[in-house]
Amino acid sequence: MSLDNETGLDKPGIRVRPVTGLVAADYFVPGYFVWAVLIANLARIGYEEKNMYMAAYDWRLSFQNTETRDQTLSRIKSNIELLVATNGGNRAVVIPHSMGVLYFLHFMKWVEAPSPMGGGGGPDWCAKHIKAVANIGGPFLGVPKAVAGLFSSEAKDVAVARAIAPEMLDSDFLGLQTLRHLMRMTRTWDSTMSMLPKGGDTIWGGLDWSPEDGFECKSKKRKTNDSEVSKDVHGEPVEVHPEPVNFGRMVSFGKDVAESPVSNIEQIEFRCCQR
C-alpha cells in the first residue's frame, strides 16, 4: 500500500488499483456496508447501472495524480456526460462522501479549467451536467486527526487496538513493528495533505483559546438517576464544576502539554525548515 516517496505514484513492481463498478464500495467486508443500502434503495425506485455510476478512485494519491496515473478525472467527466446523454438530458446528482467531497470539488474546478492541466469542459460544464451535489461528511476545513496521523499515526482505531492488545503496536512482536510501518506507509500518501486543517487560528483557535470557549461539551445521558450534584461528608449537596476544556489545542502529545500554559510550551517553527 506504500507509494514512492519521490513521485507519489507506484513503487517499482507494485501495482494497486481501485475496483470499478458498483461493487467498488457496496461492502467493505461481509456485514460492514458502505454504499450497499443506498444502492439497494435506489434500485427499488428504478435506478440501475445505466443511470448510476460509482466513481471509485485511489484515495492514496494526490488529487491531480489520480488523473496522471489513472485518468480518473477524465473518466468521471466522460461517465457523467454519458449518463446525461443516455437519460434524456437529465443532469446528474452527485453524492460524494468524506474525502470524496474534496475530491469532487477538485474535479469541478479541474473539469472547467483549460487543457492540458484541466479537463477543457468550459466555464459552464458543471451547470450543464450537474443538477445537485449532496455532500456527506465533507471535511471542507480539514480534520485534526490528519495532523496526529502525520506525526504519530495515532487515531481512534489505533487507540481501540491498544485497548485490545496493549503494547502490541509498539513492540517488536514477531518483528512486525506495526505502528512504525503504519507511519512510514501513510506518510507516502499525498492525499493526507488535502485533509490538513484549513482556516488558521480564526477558525480553529490557538493554544489558549478557541471559538468554542465557554461551550460546555455534554457527555452522553447517564442511564442512572445520578445527578451532577454530589454530597459532602455531612450529606450536604455540593455542586461539581468540571474543569474547563481548551478546545483550541486540537492535538496534544501528553497530558502535561495539553494542560500547560502557552508560555511553558516550546514551539518549533517548521516554515523555514528545509527538507
pLDDT digits (tens, 9 = 90+) for 84-98: 999 889 999 999 998
Cell of 107: 474535479
Pairing state between β 32-33 and 27-29: antiparallel
Residue 34 belongs to some domain of the structure: yes
Q: What is the pLDDT of residue 142?
A: 87
Question: CA-based angle 249:255:260, to the nearest 5?
Answer: 65
Domain span at residue 124 reads 22-133
Of 158-172, 181-195, 228-242, which range is least confident? 228-242
Boundary (domain end) residue, out of 133, 150, 165: 133
Q: Does residue 47 form part of some domain?
A: yes
Task: Give dist(CA 149, CA 155) in Å, integer.
Answer: 7
Model-level pTM?
0.73
Of 107, 133, 159, the residue at which a domain comes to its end is: 133
Judge whether 109 lies within some domain.
yes
| 104 confidence band (pLDDT: 50, 70, 90) | very high
pLDDT confidence band for 108 (50 / 70 / 90): very high
> How far is it, in rounded angstroms, from Cα 269 to Cα 167?
32
For residue 12, is it within any domain? no
Beta carbons of 111 and 119 less than 8 angstroms apart: yes
Question: Which band of pLDDT confidence, cut at 50, 70 and 90, is reported for residue 117?
Answer: confident
Q: Check which CATH number belongs to the domain holding 55 and give it.
A: 3.40.50.1820
Domain membership of residue 70 (yes or no) is yes
| Structural domain total, the chain | 2
Predicted local distance difference test score (pLDDT) of residue 28? 78
Domain boundary among 118, 133, 148: 133
Same domain, yes or no: 119 and 211 = no
